[in-house]
């Protein structure tokens, strides 16, 4: 009996069907009520630097880290320095400085403790991580970040490391003059520890801008992942991909989409101050770069403002309501999710300060740091857009206050 001509094709089809399909991520959809209710935490103030009683003058502090000895590292993006503070609030040393030489950087956007024990300071352009010895500030090499072997330069924004996984976020723009477009891709990806080559990509947002009909849209300019991702103790990447909508994705270090969790949430409608921030930012970009371009911005705040992966595997999420309209007497609120994506509790922090102008940074599970005047200082380059400082008044100096989180 002759062998059927279609047998080989049939065999290939059977073999193909035998390949297991990629597993869908586990999905957990929560309602609006936390399983364990609401917990209010009075933050215990330990020390403050940068005020009138301190010798330290701060610019814009855009990252805070704490090491195993409870020393605190403050990245000053304006002064291009890292201040190291003792557990008692005393300045121990200042490392790094502005420049292009070894151990120097410009426009630092973030910093991280790297697997080899050095401090890595992220430079925006050209995209680099400058490695510095934490003890004496001596240069320890650089990673020049690149998306491929061609060495294409990137604009870098954020970096995190936990569980052996170093993850960076940035923007890659490709200009195509033949069709008159700019493709702007915001990405989140793993970095090879030895080469600085960006490898596994976890998430991206891509927009195509038509140069002939260019318009300035908030969604196109604010498409990155700053403040809206973290790496948990197991090296999993926890990230908010969509601007609108309360949805969080969790990726294993190898890029597998393992979990998505959501909760019922009503978006917060921006008030005049919040609307004024993006209006002023877009007007500044329009005036300096593309005069006459149409402007557009959102009427609601992003549902998720910031995200923190705690050492116990839980995920802490600050919502727009928690930042912009917390309950009376509360600085801000966090939704806390268990590692399996269950909405476990709402935690309300009580401390001094103004949540509309100040920023809270988590560092570990025991301490949080309040940067007073963070948003006022950061927005000053846009003419004080959305500032809490009254017209004609001088802003208060930027200070950093350390709090202990008690149960």
Query: In a structure prediction context, what are the per-residue pLDDT tens digits for the chain, which is 407 residues long?
Result: 443 444 444 444 444 444 445 579 999 999 999 999 999 999 999 999 999 888 899 999 999 999 999 999 999 999 999 999 999 999 999 999 999 999 999 999 999 999 999 999 999 998 899 999 999 999 999 988 876 555 455 789 999 999 999 999 999 888 888 999 888 889 999 998 777 788 899 999 888 888 888 889 898 777 789 889 999 999 999 999 888 889 999 999 999 999 999 999 999 999 998 998 888 889 988 998 889 999 999 999 999 999 999 999 999 999 999 999 999 999 999 999 999 999 999 999 999 999 889 999 987 678 999 999 888 877 776 655 555 555 556 667 899 999 999 76
Instruction: Please tell me the distance from the alpha carbon of residue 327 to that of residue 40, in angstroms, as a whole number.
Output: 11
b or e along 342-377 (b: 16 or more beta carbons within 10 Å of the residue's beta carbon)?
bbbbbbbbebebebbbbbbbbbeeebbbbbbbbbbb
Q: Which residues contact 394 (CB under 8 A, 6 or more apart)?
A: none
Best CA proximity match to 334, nearest among 27, 41, 45: 41
| Residue 330 tokens, joined | 């509360």
Asked whether residue 37 is domain-assigned, the answer is: yes
In contact, 274 and 296? CB cutoff 8 Å: no
- The predicted pLDDT at position 3 comes to 39
Asked whether residue 164 is domain-assigned, the answer is: yes
- The predicted pLDDT at position 15 comes to 46
Counted domains in the chain: 1
Asked whether residue 244 is domain-assigned, the answer is: yes
Asked whether residue 139 is domain-assigned, the answer is: no
Asked whether residue 311 is domain-assigned, the answer is: yes
In contact, 339 and 320? CB cutoff 8 Å: no
Length of the chain: 407
- The predicted pLDDT at position 391 comes to 54
For residue 245, what are the CA distances in angstroms to 248, 293, 295, 340? 9, 28, 23, 20
Asked whether residue 154 is domain-assigned, the answer is: yes
- The predicted pLDDT at position 68 comes to 92
Asked whether residue 72 is domain-assigned, the answer is: no
Asked whether residue 108 is domain-assigned, the answer is: no
Centre a 10 Å sphere on the Cβ of residue 271 and count the other Cβ atoms it contains: 12
Bond into 190 cis (ω within 30)? no
Range of the structural domain that residue 164 is part of: 24-57+145-404
For residue 273, what are the CA distances in angstroms to 301, 332, 387? 12, 18, 8
- The predicted pLDDT at position 397 comes to 85
Laid out side by side, the sheet with 91-95 consists of 61-66, 72-76, 81-85, 91-95
Backbone φ and ψ of 209, nearest 5°: -105, 125
Residue given tokens 């309950």 in the structure block: 327
In contact, 318 and 306? CB cutoff 8 Å: yes
In contact, 71 and 85? CB cutoff 8 Å: yes
């Amino acid at each position: 009996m002759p062998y059927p001509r279609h047998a080989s094709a049939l065999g290939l089809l059977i073999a193909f069907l035998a390949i297991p399909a990629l597993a869908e991520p586990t999905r957990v959809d929560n309602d609006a009520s936390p399983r364990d209710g609401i917990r209010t935490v009075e933050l215990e103030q330990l020390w403050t630097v940068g005020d009138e009683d301190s010798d330290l003058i701060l610019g814009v502090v855009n990252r805070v880290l704490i090491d195993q000895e409870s020393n605190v590292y403050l990245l000053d993006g304006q002064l291009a320095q890292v201040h190291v503070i003792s557990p008692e609030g005393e300045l121990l040393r200042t490392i790094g400085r502005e420049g292009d030489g070894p151990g120097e950087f410009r426009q630092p956007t973030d910093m991280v403790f790297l697997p080899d024990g050095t401090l890595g300071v992220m430079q925006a352009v050209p995209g680099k991580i400058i490695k510095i010895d934490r003890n004496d500030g001596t240069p320890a090499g650089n990673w020049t970040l690149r998306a491929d072997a061609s060495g294409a330069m990137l604009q870098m924004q954020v970096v995190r490391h936990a569980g052996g996984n170093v993850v960076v976020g940035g923007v890659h723009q490709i200009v195509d003059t033949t069709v008159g477009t700019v493709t702007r891709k915001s990405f989140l990806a793993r970095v090879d520890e030895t080469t600085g080559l960006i490898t596994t990509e976890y998430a991206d947002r891509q927009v195509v801008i038509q140069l002939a009909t260019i318009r300035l849209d908030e969604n196109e300019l604010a498409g990155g992942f700053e403040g809206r991702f973290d790496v948990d103790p197991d090296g999993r990447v926890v990230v908010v991909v969509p601007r609108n909508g309360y949805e969080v994705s969790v990726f294993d270090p190898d890029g597998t989409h393992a979990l998505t969790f959501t909760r019922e949430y009503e978006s917060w409608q921006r008030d005049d101050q919040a609307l004024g921030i993006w209006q002023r930012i877009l007007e500044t970009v329009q005036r300096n770069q593309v005069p006459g371009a149409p402007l557009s911005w959102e009427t609601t705040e992003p549902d998720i403002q910031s995200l923190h992966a705690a050492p116990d595997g839980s995920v802490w999420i600050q919502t727009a309501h928690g930042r912009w309209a917390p309950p009376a007497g509360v600085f801000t609120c966090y939704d806390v999710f268990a590692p399996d994506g269950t909405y476990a509790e709402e935690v309300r922090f009580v401390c001094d300060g103004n949540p509309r102008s100040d920023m809270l940074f988590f560092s570990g599970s025991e301490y949080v740091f309040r940067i007073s005047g963070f948003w006022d200082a950061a927005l000053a380059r846009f003419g004080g857009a959305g500032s809490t400082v009254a017209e004609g008044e001088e802003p208060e100096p930027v200070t950093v206050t350390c709090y202990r989180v008690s149960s």
